C-alpha cells in the first residue's frame, strides 16, 4: 500500500516539524532570537540536525514560519469564538476569552507575536502589519454588524477597532506579567467587554 | 578660563554624541538593528570611529541608551501636554496631539519604541515594560483625577488606562503607515478623544 506508507512517512515528518516549532518558541523566548542556535533547537526537540535542514534552509526561515503559523492559529481561534455568537457583547466576551486562554496556555507564543518578532527579524515587518490588520478586522466586523443593526451610533468603526485591538493586546501582555494571571483574567475579560461596549456607545 | 574651555569641549562632545544618536535611529530603521554596523553609524554621522568608542563600548549599549532617551523624551512631552490642561477631554486632546506630533516628525523614533526594540535586543525587555508602565500611568493619572471629581463613575482606572495606552499606540502606528499621515491625524486625534471619553463614561 504505497499511499499509506507515504502518508505515514509524511505524518512522522510533520510530527518532527511540529516538535521543532514548539521547541523553537520556547528556545527563542528563553535565549532571545539571536542567541538561540539551530543546535539548541534540534537538541531540545530531540531531532537530528539534518532534520532541521530538511524543513528549513536557516533559522530566520523557521522563525518567519513560526510567526505566520502562530498568528494564523491565534486569529482563527479568536475569529471562530467571535463568530460563534450573534450579539456584540457576547462576541466580545467569547473572542477575548479565547484570546486570554491562548495567552495563559501559550504565553511564549503571544509574547512572540505581540513583542518579540519584528526587531529580531526585519523581514517580519510586513507580516506583522498583516497580522495587526487581520486582528483589527475581527473586531471591526463585529462593530460593523452592530452598526448595521443600529445597536451602536454612526462612528468610524475602523478607528474604534484599531483602538480595541491595541487596547486588548496591552491588557493581555500585562496579564502575562501578572503574579496571578488566571485570577486576573477573571476580571480582565468582563472589564475589557464593558470598556469596549461603552466606547462604541452600544445600546443594551 | 579652564572652566569655559572644559565646558566648550563637553558641548562639542555632546554634539557628536547627539549626532551619533540621531543617525543611529535612522540607520537602525533602514537596515534593521543586526545588519546596521558601528561603521555605518559613524560614517553617516560624520565622526571618527574612536569617537563612537569614547561614548559607547558597543552597538547594544548605544541601542539601549537610544531606547531609554527616546522613551524619556516621548513620555515627558506627552506628560507635560496632559498636565498643561485641567479637564479630562482637554488633557486627552493635548496629550494625544503631542504624541501624534512626535510620531509625524520622528516616525523612526516612535517605530523603534513601539515595534522594533525588544526583539532586536533581549535586554530591553525590562526597559520596554517600564516604558509601557509610565505611558499607562500618564493616562491613568488623568482618569484618577476625573474619578476624584466624580466626572467618571467608579471603575478600574488602571485597566482603562492600559486599554487606552495600547489603543492609542495602535492608532498612531497605523497613522505612520498611512498614505497621508498629516490629514489622517486631523481626524484620528478627536476620534481617539471621543472613544476614550465614552469608554470611561465621562459626564460632560
Instruction: Dump pLDDT digits (tens) for A35-61.
Output: 889 999 999 999 999 999 999 999 989
Same domain for B124 and B143, yes or no, is yes
Domain housing A47: 1-56
Q: What is the pTM of this model?
A: 0.89
What pLDDT shows up at residue A120?
65
> Residues of B with CB below 8 A from A199's CB?
195-196, 198-199
CATH code (residue A73) = 1.10.357.10
Final residue before a domain boundary, out of A19, A38, A56: A56
Cα(B74)–Cα(B114) distance, integer angstroms:
11
Rounded Cα distance, A135 and A123, in Å: 20
Clarify whether residues A64 and A48 are in a common domain. no
Contact B32 A116 (CB under 8 A): no
Q: How many domains does chain B have?
A: 2
Chain A residues whose CB is inside 8 A of the B128 CB are: 115
Residues 6+ apart with CB under 8 A from A185: A100, A104, A175
pLDDT digits (tens, 9 = 90+) for A105-144: 988 888 888 876 666 677 788 888 899 999 999 999 999 9
In sequence order, which ranges of chain B are alpha helices (DSSP H)? Answer: 2-31, 38-45, 49-55, 59-83, 88-105, 107-111, 117-120, 125-148, 157-177, 181-199
Does residue B102 lie within any of the structural domains? yes
CB contact under 8 A, A160 and B195: yes
Q: Evaluate whether residue B125 is within a structural domain.
A: yes
CB-closest option in A31, A117, A191 to B156: A191
Residues B156-175 as b/e (b if ≥16 CB within 10 A, e otherwise) read ebbbbbbbbbbbbbbbbbbb
What share of chain A in percent tops pLDDT 90? 61
Question: Could you tell me if B39 and B140 lie in one domain?
Answer: no
Q: Say whether residue A132 is in contact with chain B using an 8 A CB cutoff.
A: yes
* Residue B120 to residue A119, Cβ atoms within 8 A: yes
Most distant CA pair in chain A: distance in Å?
62
B132: chain A residues, CB-CB within 8 Å: 170, 173-174
> Is residue B162 within 8 angstroms of chain A, CB to CB?
yes
Same domain, A31 and A64: no
- A116 at interface of B, judged by CB pairs closer than 8 A: yes
Instruction: Find how far residue B146's CA is from the centre of its chain.
Output: 25
A204 domain residue, yes or no: no
A3 lies in the same domain as A94: no
> Could you tell me which chain A residue has the CA closest to the CA of B194?
A199
Hey, is B46 helix, strand or coil? coil
Residue at which a domain ends, from B34, B56, B78: B56
Helix or strand or coil: residue B60? helix
CB contact under 8 A, A171 and B166: yes
Residue A171: inside a domain, yes or no? Answer: yes
Determine contact, residues A82/A168, Cβ cutoff 8 Å. no
Is there a single domain that holds both residue B10 and residue B96? no
For residues A151 and A178, membership in a common domain is answered with yes
For chain A, the average pLDDT equals 89
Do A79 and A138 lie in a common domain?
yes
Cell of A145: 454588524
Q: CA A131 to CA A166: how far, in whole Å?
A: 12
- For residues B43 and B77, state if they share a domain: no
Q: What is the mean pLDDT of residues A135-161?
A: 97
Task: Report how far residue B135's alpha carbon sits from residue B132's, in angstroms, rounded to the nearest whole number.
Answer: 5
Is B167 found in the same domain as B72?
yes
The reply to whether A60 touches chain B by the CB within 8 Å rule is no
Domain end, chosen from A18, A38, A56, is at A56
Q: Is residue A194 part of a domain?
A: yes
Chain B: nearest CA to A113, how far in angstroms?
A: 10
Distance of CA B139 to the CA centre of its chain: 14
pLDDT confidence tier of residue A26, bands split at 50, 70 and 90: confident
Residue A73 shares a structural domain with residue A108 = yes
Residue A179 forms part of a structural domain: yes
Residues of chain B with pLDDT under 50: 1-3
Same domain, A45 and A79: no
Stated as kind and residue range, the H or E segment containing A13 is helix A2-31
pLDDT at A1: 39
The answer to whether residue A92 scores a pLDDT higher than 60 is yes
Is residue A179 helix, strand or coil? coil
| Class of residue B91 by CB neighbours under 10 A (exposed 0-12, middle 13-18, buried 19+) | buried
Is A115 in CB contact (< 8 Å) with chain B?
Answer: yes
CA distance linking residue B30 with residue A172, whole number of Å = 30
Contact list, A118 vs chain B (CB under 8 Å) = 115-116, 119
Residue B204 is assigned to a structural domain of this protein: no
Domain at B23, CATH number: 1.10.10.60
Is residue A48 in some structural domain?
yes
Report pLDDT for B9.
61
Amino acid at each position: 500500500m504505497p499511499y499509506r506508507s507515504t502518508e505515514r512517512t509524511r505524518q512522522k515528518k510533520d510530527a518532527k516539524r511540529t516538535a521543532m516549532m514548539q521547541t523553537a518558541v520556547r528556545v527563542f523566548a528563553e535565549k532571545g532570537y539571536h542567541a538561540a542556535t539551530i543546535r539548541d533547537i534540534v537538541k531540545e526537540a530531540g531531532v537530528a540536525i539534518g532534520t532541521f535542514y530538511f524543513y528549513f534552509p536557516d533559522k530566520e526561515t523557521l522563525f518567519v514560519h513560526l510567526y505566520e503559523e502562530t498568528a494564523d492559529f491565534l486569529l482563527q481561534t479568536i475569529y471562530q469564538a467571535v463568530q460563534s455568537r450573534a450579539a456584540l457583547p457576547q462576541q466580545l466576551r467569547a473572542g477575548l476569552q479565547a484570546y486570554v486562554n491562548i495567552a495563559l496556555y501559550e504565553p511564549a507564543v503571544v509574547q512572540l507575536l505581540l513583542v518579540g518578532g519584528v526587531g529580531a527579524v526585519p523581514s517580519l515587518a510586513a507580516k506583522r502589519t498583516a497580522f495587526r490588520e487581520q486582528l483589527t478586522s475581527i473586531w471591526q466586523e463585529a462593530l460593523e454588524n452592530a452598526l448595521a443593526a443600529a445597536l451602536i451610533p454612526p462612528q468610524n468603526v475602523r478607528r474604534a477597532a484599531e483602538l480595541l485591538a491595541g487596547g486588548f493586546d496591552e491588557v493581555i501582555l500585562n496579564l502575562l506579567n501578572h503574579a496571578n494571571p488566571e485570577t486576573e483574567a477573571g476580571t480582565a475579560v468582563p472589564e475589557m467587554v464593558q470598556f469596549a461596549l461603552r466606547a462604541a456607545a452600544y445600546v443594551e
